[in-house]
Amino acid sequence: MTKARCTFDLNNLRPVENETHPMQKTLTLMALAICVQGFGQKEVVSAYNANKEGDFATAATYIEQAIQNPKANVKNKTWRYRGEIYLNISKDSALFAAYPDALVRAKDSYFKAQELDAKGSYASEIRIGLDQVQMAASNAGIGNYNTGNFGAAGAFFDLGAEIASAFEITDTMAIYNSALCYEKAGEVDLAVARYRACADIEYQVPNVFLFISNLYRTNGREAEALETLAEARGLYPREQSLIIEELNIYLTNEEFDKAKENLALAAEQDPTNEILWFSLGSVLDNLGNADEAIEAYKKALEVKADYFDANYNLGALYFNQAVQGINAANDMWKPRMTKTESDAQKQLEDDAKALFETAKPFLEAAHATDADDLETMRSLRDIYARTGDDDKMLELTAKIKAASN
């Protein structure tokens, strides 16, 4: 009997034209099956040996041929070898450049090996391999970030997060780093998706909502920015940064009435939220509605007496009114003034002095809360100079000088 030889082309098999004996057909098919099986095993062995010798490119060629074979394709070791080969390729910078998807292939290979390892005989080996792929992906992410390849960096961090997730572990840093990378790459929707994933696991909240809002704003999607802020404020109603961000959008668009209405409604719904009252006061202050602003600031202080921002802004509002009064009085001066004019000027000066006195306790309260704030110290120094508190004025002057050096 002639021995079968594995020299045929699998892609060009054709029916035998001449009539053959049934037994001969059976033997031919058996030989074919043995050859196909041998082909797959041979490539796996060749890949293993090349990998062991450090010839990873050749190993990759053989292993890719092997997985095309239906017999080798369902063998656990085929996929474990493939994972190891591509992991080794990722460690060689030149080869990695030629196989940029090496870590993805390594990850997929180990996952496939895991799927085929029904008894868990190789669970430990597979886990070690995947841990190494995850570490390599993290390093590749950092490397690409440092060289400005932000999109690629994001994809590598995604890969690390995916592997962690397969073992029911949430790699918060990988998800967050991925978001940062995609943001820098200008991939808005990808960045938003990763930031939202951070929010889902309560990582870097509420800041991630601000990041999402800023992303939308800088890309002309203000409606989505406002929707994001509304959602975030529902979750974190006392977070001042969210309120201010929303306020800034309205102010940038000169939608002052909308800002006022938005904050007034929120304050009424949550009257013990000092941040809302303060924010409303700020809007009214900017709109020039001084009386309403004063009322809102005072409501904030009723809730929290040592609220620095409310004390400072209220003190500053009275201070600015006093300065306006002094300027108005000075503008009235002329060499020869009638008694009526002189009395009116004196009244403006007295009113201004009263306003400085009114401002004083609020700025003192702000200073008591934050003794290092220079703007507060400068305002108080000027008030003390106006109200004759010379010792306090000199004390603050010395503190300001020391802090400025």
Which CATH number goes with the domain that contains 369? Answer: 1.25.40
pLDDT above 70 for 193: yes
Please check whether residue 364 lies inside any domain of the structure: yes
Based on the domain organization, do 316 and 387 belong to the same domain?
yes
- What is the mean pLDDT of the segment spanning 377-390? 94
Based on the domain organization, do 226 and 254 belong to the same domain?
yes
Which of residues 17 and 344 earns the better pLDDT score? 344
Q: In the structure encoding, which two tokens stand for residue 134, read together?
A: 């995850």
Based on the domain organization, do 279 and 315 belong to the same domain?
no
Overall pTM surpassing 0.75 (yes/no): no
| Residue 334: per-residue pLDDT | 86
- What is the mean pLDDT of the segment spanning 231-255? 88
One-letter identity of residue 228: T
Residue % of the chain over a pLDDT of 70: 90
pLDDT tier for residue 252 given thresholds of 50, 70 and 90:
confident
Please check whether residue 256 lies inside any domain of the structure: yes
Based on the domain organization, do 381 and 297 belong to the same domain?
no
Based on the domain organization, do 230 and 289 belong to the same domain?
yes
User: Which residue is it, tokens 């949550």?
Assistant: 270
For 351-380, write each residue's pLDDT tens digit: 999 999 999 999 999 999 999 999 999 999
Instruction: Choose from 158-172, 235-249, 273-287 the range with maximum mean pLDDT.
Output: 158-172
Q: How far apart are CA 266 and CA 205, in angstroms?
A: 21
pLDDT above 80 for 145: yes
Based on the domain organization, do 313 and 273 belong to the same domain?
no
For 107-143, write each residue's pLDDT tens digit: 999 999 999 999 999 999 999 999 999 999 999 999 9
| Dihedral sign of CA atoms 393, 397, 398, 403 in order | positive
| Residue 285: per-residue pLDDT | 93
For 32-70, write each residue's pLDDT tens digit: 333 444 456 899 999 999 999 999 999 999 999 999 999
| Residue 257: per-residue pLDDT | 86
Based on the domain organization, do 309 and 370 belong to the same domain?
yes
Based on the domain organization, do 329 and 266 belong to the same domain?
no
Q: How many domains does the chain have?
A: 2
Based on the domain organization, do 341 and 391 belong to the same domain?
yes
Please check whether residue 225 lies inside any domain of the structure: yes
Please check whether residue 249 lies inside any domain of the structure: yes
Q: Which of 283, 302, 321 is the last residue of a domain?
A: 302
- What is the mean pLDDT of the segment spanning 204-216? 96
Please check whether residue 13 lies inside any domain of the structure: no
| Residue 40: per-residue pLDDT | 65
Q: Which of 302, 328, 356 is the last residue of a domain?
A: 302
Based on the domain organization, do 310 and 400 belong to the same domain?
yes
Please check whether residue 371 lies inside any domain of the structure: yes
Please check whether residue 269 lies inside any domain of the structure: yes
Q: Which of 272, 302, 332 is the last residue of a domain?
A: 302
- What is the mean pLDDT of the segment spanning 379-404? 94
pLDDT tier for residue 16 given thresholds of 50, 70 and 90:
very low
Q: How many CA atoms lie within 13 A of 201 on its CB side?
A: 15
Based on the domain organization, do 285 and 328 belong to the same domain?
no
| Dihedral sign of CA atoms 232, 236, 237, 239 in order | negative
Which of residues 246 and 363 earns the better pLDDT score? 363
- What is the mean pLDDT of the segment spanning 236-248? 86
For 330-339, write each residue's pLDDT tens digit: 999 888 889 9
For 304-335, write each residue's pLDDT tens digit: 999 999 999 999 999 999 999 999 999 998 88
Residues 6+ apart with CB under 8 A from 233: 239, 242, 243, 246, 266
For 219, phi and psi rounded to 5 degrees? Answer: -110, 20
3-state secondary structure the chain: CCCCCCCCCHHHCCCCCCCCCHHHHHHHHHHHHHHHHHHHHHHHHHHHHHHHCCCHHHHHHHHHHHCCCHHHHCCHHHHHHHHHHHHHHHCCHHHHHHCCCHHHHHHHHHHHHHHHCCCCCCHHHHHHHHHHHHHHHHHHHHHHHHCCCHHHHHHHHHHHHHHHHHCCCCCHHHHHHHHHHHHHHCCHHHHHHHHHHHHHCCCCCCHHHHHHHHHHHHCCCHHHHHHHHHHHHHHCCCCHHHHHHHHHHHHHCCCHHHHHHHHHHHHHHCCCCHHHHHHHHHHHHHHCCHHHHHHHHHHHHHHCCCCHHHHHHHHHHHHHHHHHHHHHHHHHCCCCCCHHHHHHHHHHHHHHHHHHHHHHHHHHHHHHHCCCCHHHHHHHHHHHHHHCCHHHHHHHHHHHHHHHC
Q: In the structure encoding, which two tokens stand for residue 191, read together?
A: 């960045």
Determine the structural domain holding residue 400 and report its residue range. Answer: 305-405
- What is the mean pLDDT of the segment spanning 231-245? 88
pLDDT above 70 for 22: no
For 152-168, write each residue's pLDDT tens digit: 999 999 999 999 999 99
Based on the domain organization, do 234 and 247 belong to the same domain?
yes
Q: How many CA atoms lie within 13 A of 220 on its CB side?
A: 0
Please check whether residue 63 lies inside any domain of the structure: no
